[in-house]
Structure 1
Amino acid sequence: MTHSLADGYLNKSKAYDSARPCYPSQAIEFIHRQLDLSCDLPVLDVGAGTGILTRQLASTGMPIIGVEPDEQMLAMARANTAATNAKFRCGTAENLGLAQDSVSALVCGQSFHWFDPGKTLSEFRRVLATNNPVFLVWNIRSPDCDEFHRAYERLLRDQFERYEETLQIDRCLEDRIQKFFVGPIEERTFLNSQQLDASGLLERTMSCSYAMLPGTAEYRSASHALSVLYQQHRQKNGVSLSYQTRVVYGRI
């Protein structure tokens, strides 16, 4: 039986937390400036994973709750978050488990593409007590900015049987975004990057939903290919993965 691609995150909480990039401080500050938090209700980070975005938003001082369905991810988020203004709870975008009109804003980092848009829209409208915009945020890897990134993209296509499924999700995303918001949609992009050594590149790659866990033939093959790629393209400080951080926002 073929499992949902989202199930590929099972048992990857440690790798996800250590290998995934943070968001640029300029993007965090931009989101914070757009929000009216005068009602003193918390902000929700929906699909919070291990709390990467939650912690960054909490650093602005806003009260925030990370909502995440994966128990391992949730445990990692709680263990690695010291900020007293950040809390976590189990829930999904379609069933947040919160009271009506109980939150001031909603932010989704690296997660909206996994949601059921119609059910999520109804649930977001139910809990949102303000006219604040909803923010959808992604760190999007740059696939062709130089030869290393082009070679890395070829490796992903060659080594991972389910990588094409993620590209199909990406191709459907714009239509899902357009149908989700009411009225104008605005967007900002910010530059971001990760400096990685050989083990960091391996962990970053294997933290993805399409990657198999250690012990499989696919993992062994991809590990070897990544090692070769790293040696071919390493600089003094390893390799750098470049991203554009995309911030899409509008009202619902």
Structure 2
Amino acid sequence: MGEQPAEARSRRAHAASFGDAAAAYQRGRPPYPVSVLAWAVPPGARRILDLGAGTGKFTRLLADAGLDVVAVEPSAGMREQLAAAVPEAAVLDGTAERIPLPDGHVDAVVVAQAWHWADPGRAVPEVARVLRPGGTLSLLWNVRDHTEPWVARLDEVLHRHTRQDVDTAPDLGEPFGPVERAEIRWRHRLGRGELLDMVASRSYVIVLPEQRRRELLGSVEELLDSHPDLRGRESFDLPYVTRCTRARRP
């Protein structure tokens, strides 16, 4: 089933906002641990599509593993950052609903931090089209680990202004087979400025009115200055859980 018109308009508006904050996204968003690569890309896969590749956070891992990478991203601002960060990847304009590749072109498709922007009713058959028979679709999300007290407090600050709920364990349906799930826990070292960039690059923050956006970032700075786990520190570890879903095209 496709989206309702209002849902589609809201999704497109938030997804399109990233071009205005591509540099902050590149500075502040976390990478992915190598263990996620091993889970997402099956043995023997060589040609990989990184769909909704953003600024190349996952593309970099794929390229470093010596894989033949095609990165598809709809935002021109994000593609500019991506091409600079991963020059060895082929970077194309496209979406999950319209992938500029021929049928059966790739061994695996990875969608890192982007599947929630897609219309599954159109994206699932389009991804299946570009996958070879037996190919794998893997969906990944980096989620902050709220069991850390200061991270829970950070989320309280963010959700005071706005909230974005994302389904990080979606079903896929035909023509894909049964889904497999995994959670990988890890920690990302970052500094004060990078944390502020991470917040500023969230789609729901980008689209806030300017006054509310300044208030939110000011609240995050106050947390950095006052929380006992952060006060006076130039860098700290942000714990993440990477939530993974994969399924194979029979």
Distance, in Å, in 1 between the alignment partners of 2:106 and 2:64 is 18
234-243 or 86-95, larger mean C-alpha shift:
234-243
User: How big is each residue's C-alpha offset from its partner over 1:122-169, in whole Å with a ceiling of 9 and x where there is no partner?
Assistant: 1112111230221111111122x13211211110111x33x2xx11x4
Once the two structures are TM-superposed, the CA of residue 214 in structure 1 deviates from its matched residue by: 9.7
The answer for the alignment partner of 1:244 in structure 2 is 241
Which of 44, 47, 60 lines up with 1:36 in the alignment? 44
**Residue aligned with 1:95, SS:** coil
Distance, in Å, in 2 between the alignment partners of 1:66 and 1:104 is 14
The answer for the alignment partner of 1:125 in structure 2 is 128
Equivalence map 1:95-174=2 (5 Å): 95-143=98-146, 145-158=147-160, 160-161=161-162, 163=163, 166-167=164-165, 169-170=166-167, 174=169
**Residue aligned with 2:171, SS:** helix
Are 1:219 and 2:219 counterparts? no
Superposed CA RMSD: 2.3
% identical equivalent positions: 28
Are 1:18 and 2:27 counterparts? yes
The answer for the alignment partner of 1:59 in structure 2 is 64
Aligned residue pair count:
237
**Residue aligned with 2:183, SS:** strand
The answer for the alignment partner of 2:16 in structure 1 is 7
Distance 1:214 1:80, change over 3 A: farther
The answer for the alignment partner of 1:49 in structure 2 is 54
Distance 1:250 1:181, change over 3 A: farther
Aligned partners of 1:187 and 1:246 also within 8 Å: yes
Once the two structures are TM-superposed, the CA of residue 245 in structure 1 deviates from its matched residue by: 0.9
Distance, in Å, in 2 between the alignment partners of 1:134 and 1:227 is 39
Distance 1:121 1:214, change over 3 A: closer
The answer for the alignment partner of 2:191 in structure 1 is 197
Q: What's the TM-score once normalised by structure 1's chain length?
A: 0.85
**Residue aligned with 1:152, SS:** helix
Once the two structures are TM-superposed, the CA of residue 117 in structure 1 deviates from its matched residue by: 0.7
Which of 202, 205, 212 lines up with 1:208 in the alignment? 202
